[in-house]
Amino acid sequence: MCLFSGARLGEIAQLRLGDVRLERGVWFIHICHDAGAGLSTKSGRSRFAAVHQLLERIGFLDFHAKQLERVGGDGKAAMFPGLAPNGRGQISGTPSEWWRDYLTAIGIKNGEVQGGDGYGTHSFRHTLADRLRSEAELLDDQIEVCLGHNQKTVTSGYGELPQGTVTMFKGWMEAVRFEGVRFDHLFSSATPVPTLPVAD
């Protein structure tokens, strides 16, 4: 989910089932900043992330539907109920540690270097930024909107609505093809591997 949305691990870990919605025919994730509900983003603002077709084919929406059914349709229920805040109050603590240990175990991360080798869950965010530049051919101000970075402009301080629409984000994200990365092992045998658009 971090790879396909550019969201931070903490933003994914805190998701509620009602944060996944359908609007204008587009499935999207509402990444919420709501201090009263214990939800936060680094920018202090909520934003949208379109569900990429590969994430959909991997089974994310099926997983979401099963979780909704499990809790009787309660949209306020946690998307990942097995996660609990660690000693520092971070709900992303357990998956972050698991990912670090996994990367170390397969030889990608140096277990002796604490956070200094550049590999971790945040690498997904950096990877998506590069793919948005190279495959979607977006400029940095558009990528900032996708990733939820603070934009320090006069216009950004006007109004209350976040920048971008779900249909805009869907178009931008679908232009990212993740060329050179294989996902076919994540699809069930009954699910066809999606055909992504080929660059000219």
Taken in order of first residue, the domains within the chain and their CATH numbers are 2-186 (1.10.443)
Mean pLDDT calculated for residue range 104-128? 80
Q: Output the pLDDT for position 122.
A: 86
Give me the residue label for tokens 């077709």. Answer: 53
Q: How far is CA 167 from CA 6, 121, 156, 189, in A?
A: 17, 27, 20, 30
Write out the two tokens for 109.
């991360």
How do 47-50 and 26-31 pair as beta strands?
antiparallel
For residue 189, pLDDT beyond 70: no
Q: What is the pTM of this model?
A: 0.79
> Given this model, what pLDDT does residue 198 score?
44
Question: If you average pLDDT over every residue of the chain, what do you get?
Answer: 83
Q: How confident is the model at residue 175 (pLDDT cuts 50, 70, 90)?
A: very high
pLDDT over 80 at 40, yes or no: no
* pLDDT tier for residue 119 given thresholds of 50, 70 and 90: confident
3-class state of residue 39 by DSSP: strand
User: Cα–Cα distance between 144 and 124 in angstroms, integer?
Assistant: 15
**Predicted pLDDT at 48:** 87
